[in-house]
Amino acid sequence: MNKARIAVLVSGGGTNLQALIDAEKSGIINSGEITLVISNKEDAYALRRAEKAGIKTAVVRKKDFDGASAFEDRLIETLENNCTDLIILAGFMCILSEKFTSHFEKRIINVHPSLIPSFCGEGFYGLKVHEAALAKGVKVTGATVHFVNEIPDGGEIIAQKAVEILDGDTPEILQKRVMEQAEWIILPLAAEKVSKEITEKR
């Protein structure tokens, strides 16, 4: 089968990347294969996870370029050289411009740790999302996988999963539960769904 070639963009520890690697091994992701992991930080632990799994890696650092446009040009070039079909943002801490997102229209997906449209958009990332949910007193949160466009967290929703907020939750405890009960489940499922759609269009 001609699988969709997946590139995963990371900045940190790579727990979502690990969930994707495990899902590919177990056959949850069957229509796509992870062929490249790109990080904007050379010391990201996610790169070690990729190397351990035998996946090609690349580092593209924003500070090595004269402005965001040149940085994105290098990213595009690296992705094109890999013949990338699908890009998954897995904790990639860079906002991408319309130039980049329109170049890969309907081919970039992201996981966000809330039920969009709650607690999303510019400034809502990492623990800040869970801090905001707890401060608001909501009883249910979760995760959302969506297509990426030029508006932060603004693209079409692919999948969502709810997670209960419990008494005594801290942002850190809630973050872990949202990852385990939602992000690590729906991100691989969405990756498979979009990969399948890409291969069927060929």
The residues annotated with a catalytic role in the active site are 112
Task: Tell me if 77 sits within 8 A of 113, measured CB to CB.
Answer: no
Give CA–CA dist 133/131, Å, rounded.
6
Task: Tell me if 11 sits within 8 A of 38, measured CB to CB.
Answer: no
Q: State the Cα angle at 178 between 173 and 182, rounded to 5°.
A: 160
Give CA–CA dist 7/5, Å, rounded.
7
**Token pair of 76 as six digits:** 């595009």
Please give the DSSP secondary-structure letter assigned to residue 76: H
Residue positions counted in the chain: 202
- 89 CB-near residues (< 8 Å, 6+ apart): 9, 108, 109, 110, 111, 148
User: Closest by alpha carbon to 87, among 120, 96, 1?
Assistant: 96
